[in-house]
Structure 1
Amino acid sequence: MDRGELEAKRLTPAGERILSAASALFYERGIRTVGVDAIADAAEVTKKTLYDRFGSKDKLIAAYLEERNRSWHRFLDEQLDARDPQTPEEVILALFAALSDWMAESRRGCGFINASVELAAPDHPAMPTIVAQKQWMRAEFVAQAELAGFRSTGELADRLLLLHEGALVTYRVAAMEHAPEVAHRAAADLLAAWPRV
Structure 2
Amino acid sequence: MAATGTTARAEAGVSPVRQRILAAADAMFYAEGVRAVSADRIIAAAEVSKVTFYRHFPTKDDLVLAYLRGRSDWERAEIARVRSDRPGDPCGTLTAVAEAIVDASCAPGFRGCPFIHAAAEYADPEHPVRHAVAAHRKWFAGVLDELLVELGVGDRSAALEQLVVLRDGAMVQGYLGGGSGLRADTLVAAGRAVIEVARR
The 8 Å contact of residues 99 and 180 in structure 1, kept in 2 or not, is answered as: no
TM-score in terms of structure 1 length:
0.85
The 8 Å contact of residues 36 and 57 in structure 1, kept in 2 or not, is answered as: yes
Counterpart in 2 of 1:194? Answer: 198
Cα deviation, residue 188, structure 1: 1.9
The amino acid that maps onto 1:136 is W
Question: Does residue 29 of structure 1 match 2:32?
Answer: yes
Three-state SS of the structure 2 residue aligned to 1:48 is helix
Note closer, same or farther for the CA distance 1:103–1:190 as it changes in structure 2 (3 Å cut).
Answer: same
Note closer, same or farther for the CA distance 1:34–1:68 as it changes in structure 2 (3 Å cut).
Answer: same
| Number of residue pairs matched by the alignment | 189
Counterpart in 1 of 2:94? Answer: 92
With CA pairs under 8 Å and 6+ residues apart, which has the higher RCO, 1 or 2?
2
Counterpart in 1 of 2:5? Answer: none
2 CA distance for matches of 1:146 and 1:125?
31
What is the root-mean-square deviation in Å for CA atoms of aligned residues?
Answer: 2.2
Q: Deviations over 1:28-67 (max 9, x none)?
A: 1111111011100111101221111011001100000000
Q: Which moved more, 1:179-188 or 1:67-76?
A: 179-188
The 8 Å contact of residues 167 and 180 in structure 1, kept in 2 or not, is answered as: no
Counterpart in 2 of 1:117? Answer: 120
1 CA distance for matches of 2:130 and 2:12?
18
The amino acid that maps onto 1:67 is G
The 8 Å contact of residues 104 and 110 in structure 2, kept in 1 or not, is answered as: no
Cα deviation, residue 112, structure 1: 0.8
Fraction of identical pairs, as percent = 29
1 CA distance for matches of 2:82 and 2:105?
13
1 CA distance for matches of 2:115 and 2:183?
17
Counterpart in 2 of 1:183? Answer: 187
TM-score in terms of structure 2 length:
0.84
1 CA distance for matches of 2:84 and 2:181?
24
1 CA distance for matches of 2:165 and 2:70?
24
The 8 Å contact of residues 85 and 94 in structure 1, kept in 2 or not, is answered as: no
The 8 Å contact of residues 102 and 174 in structure 2, kept in 1 or not, is answered as: no
The 5 Å alignment of 1:6-155 reads 8=11, 10-81=13-84, 84=86, 86-105=88-107, 107-155=110-158
Cα deviation, residue 10, structure 1: 4.4
Note closer, same or farther for the CA distance 1:194–1:125 as it changes in structure 2 (3 Å cut).
Answer: closer
The 8 Å contact of residues 163 and 187 in structure 1, kept in 2 or not, is answered as: yes
Q: Which moved more, 1:20-29 or 1:102-111?
A: 102-111
The 8 Å contact of residues 141 and 157 in structure 1, kept in 2 or not, is answered as: yes
Cα deviation, residue 88, structure 1: 1.8
1 CA distance for matches of 2:122 and 2:190?
31
The amino acid that maps onto 2:199 is P
Note closer, same or farther for the CA distance 1:25–1:40 as it changes in structure 2 (3 Å cut).
Answer: same
2 CA distance for matches of 1:156 and 1:137?
14
1 CA distance for matches of 2:127 and 2:183?
29
The 8 Å contact of residues 96 and 180 in structure 1, kept in 2 or not, is answered as: no
